A and B are shown apart, each in its own frame.
Chain A
Amino acid sequence: MLKNKHIIVLSTHPLEGRGLQSFLCDEYHPEKVVVHATPQTINDTENSRCDLFFVSADLFVLFYDYFLLRKNKVIIFGTTLWNDSQSVMLPFLNITTNEDSLKAQIDELLSNTFHHENSDGLTSRELEVLTLVAQGLLNKEIADSLNISLHTVISHRKNIAAKLGIKTVAGFTMYAAMNGLITVNG
């Protein structure tokens, strides 16, 4: 399921990070798994190539905005105690358990995560553009933020509109809110 995928594991505890990296490599044989102690050390190439982030609960909270933008490819890991205290439903991996349970949980999370990404046929880049549109950014601002040309942003927007059958910014915003890409007050 993770063949050809690039994965970033984020944990402040080196052993925890290395442990998850090793488990993923042994069980799923992805193309690459790198471990970081903070998203600040992830370079642009790694970031754009990354298919899935495994992030520890504390780092998720600390870099909430960063991960919210990548919400559709984030799996949070930690103890069930943390997960129970959250009101937002996010893919969550309980790591205080045995190997079999860990494997079963990851299997399920992966099928949900990758299914979600493709359920309406949007690519991860299109989801990023959609999220920024929903946040009220203008095309030029989106281009700057993602380091792509204005022309590419417009072309992404056309594709999103065609795939979703939605034409207005208000419609995009609502789609994003309904799919957890953005959070709405109230």
Chain B
Amino acid sequence: MALITTDMKLSEVILQHYVLMPVIRRFGIHLGFGEKTILKICQENNLDADLMVSILNLYVHPTYTPDLTLSANQLVATVSYLKQTNALIHESQLPNVERHLQALMHYSFAKNKALGLIDNFFTEIKTELQQRIEQDNDERFPSVLALASSVVSPVIHATNQEPSLREQQESLDEKIFDLRSLLMKYLTGEADENLCYAVFFALYTLENDIRQYNNVCQALLTPAVKAMTKQHNAQK
């Protein structure tokens, strides 16, 4: 599969990789972009085209390593993209899984108590995910933004937190993967199959987005924070 470049038409890229639809949405690009190239659309929306293709490529090519060291402006744009991702997880994807799961519990719990375990496991994942989002919004993003604007920084604090945060995030998408596996492979007994499928796909979308979020942090945000911290310390 060829890498996505800024001179490609966005419509053709999306037709080929429909999973990119939510990514476009997070950049604030609305539907109806016609036959314009990615570069043109980015110019019109005041977006950084290089950053956008890096994120698009990270989304569709699992082994892709972006050849891009983020500038301060790009770092700010990345944080804004990640915030938007978190907001959508919080406002749309978590409630989506919950809605299907509640319906499944409502119709099938009386006949199949194992569904209670699925429900408990999801509640655990949800709590952890909400805590992570809160931590990102309250601590991680403000410190990255402070660094980007060269304010004397709580940078050391942010850098120290990277590994533990990453571990937590990795375990989150793995937990969702496990929950899906359990639902698919090991749930026996009676349960509404349509609703099981609905929960399964809602979980899949959530897991995929968390994984992509981690990829963006790992491939773009963390290296940029490290490089800027180093630069910042050298200037002192």
CB-defined contacts of B114 to chain A, threshold 8 Å: 178
CB-defined contacts of B118 to chain A, threshold 8 Å: 174
List residues of B whose CB falls within 8 A of some A CB: 114, 116-118, 120-121, 124, 171, 174-175, 177-179, 181-182, 185-188
Is the Cβ of B117 less than 8 Å from the Cβ of A174? Answer: yes
Stretch at the interface among A37-45, A149-157, A165-173: A165-173
Is the Cβ of A171 less than 8 Å from the Cβ of B187? Answer: no
Chain A 162-186 against B: per-residue CB contact (8 Å), 1 yes, 0 no?
0011111011001101110000101
With A171-B175, A178-B114 known as contacts, the answer to whether A166 contacts B181 (CB < 8 A) is: yes
Interface of B is mostly: helix
Is the Cβ of B177 less than 8 Å from the Cβ of A167? Answer: yes
CB-defined contacts of A184 to chain B, threshold 8 Å: 117, 120
When C-beta atoms are compared, the residue in chain A nearest to B182 turns out to be: A174
How many angstroms between the C-alpha atoms of A167 and B180 in the bound complex? 12
List residues of A whose CB falls within 8 A of some B CB: 120, 164-168, 170-171, 174-175, 177-179, 184, 186
Q: With contacts A171-B181, A174-B178, A186-B120 known, what are 7 further pairs, Cβ within 8 A?
A: A164-B181, A165-B185, A167-B177, A168-B171, A170-B175, A178-B187, A179-B186
- Closest beta carbon of chain A to B122's beta carbon, Å: 10
CB-defined contacts of A167 to chain B, threshold 8 Å: 174, 177-178
- Closest beta carbon of chain A to B178's beta carbon, Å: 3
CB-defined contacts of B186 to chain A, threshold 8 Å: 120, 175, 178-179
Is the Cβ of A170 less than 8 Å from the Cβ of B117? Answer: no
- Closest beta carbon of chain B to A176's beta carbon, Å: 10
How many angstroms between the C-alpha atoms of A22 and B181 in the bound complex? 44
Is the Cβ of B174 less than 8 Å from the Cβ of A168? Answer: yes
CB-defined contacts of A177 to chain B, threshold 8 Å: 117
How many angstroms between the C-alpha atoms of A179 and B189 in the bound complex? 12
- Closest beta carbon of chain B to A167's beta carbon, Å: 5
How many angstroms between the C-alpha atoms of A171 and B175 in the bound complex? 7
Is the Cβ of A168 less than 8 Å from the Cβ of B185? Answer: no
Picked from B171, B175, B177, B182, the residue with its CB within 8 Å of the CB of A178 is B182
CB-defined contacts of B120 to chain A, threshold 8 Å: 184, 186
With A174-B121, A178-B114 known as contacts, the answer to whether A165 contacts B181 (CB < 8 A) is: yes
Is the Cβ of A168 less than 8 Å from the Cβ of B178? Answer: yes
With A178-B187, A179-B186 known as contacts, the answer to whether A166 contacts B117 (CB < 8 A) is: no
CB-defined contacts of A164 to chain B, threshold 8 Å: 181, 185
When C-beta atoms are compared, the residue in chain A nearest to B185 turns out to be: A165
With A177-B117, A178-B117, A184-B117 known as contacts, the answer to whether A170 contacts B182 (CB < 8 A) is: no
When C-beta atoms are compared, the residue in chain B nearest to A171 turns out to be: B178
- Closest beta carbon of chain A to B49's beta carbon, Å: 37
How many angstroms between the C-alpha atoms of A166 and B185 in the bound complex? 11
CB-defined contacts of A120 to chain B, threshold 8 Å: 186
Q: What would 23 A/B residue contacts be, using CB atoms closer than 8 Å?
A: A120-B186, A164-B185, A165-B185, A166-B178, A166-B181, A166-B182, A167-B174, A168-B175, A170-B178, A171-B174, A171-B182, A174-B117, A174-B118, A174-B178, A174-B182, A175-B186, A177-B117, A178-B117, A178-B182, A178-B186, A184-B117, A186-B116, A186-B120
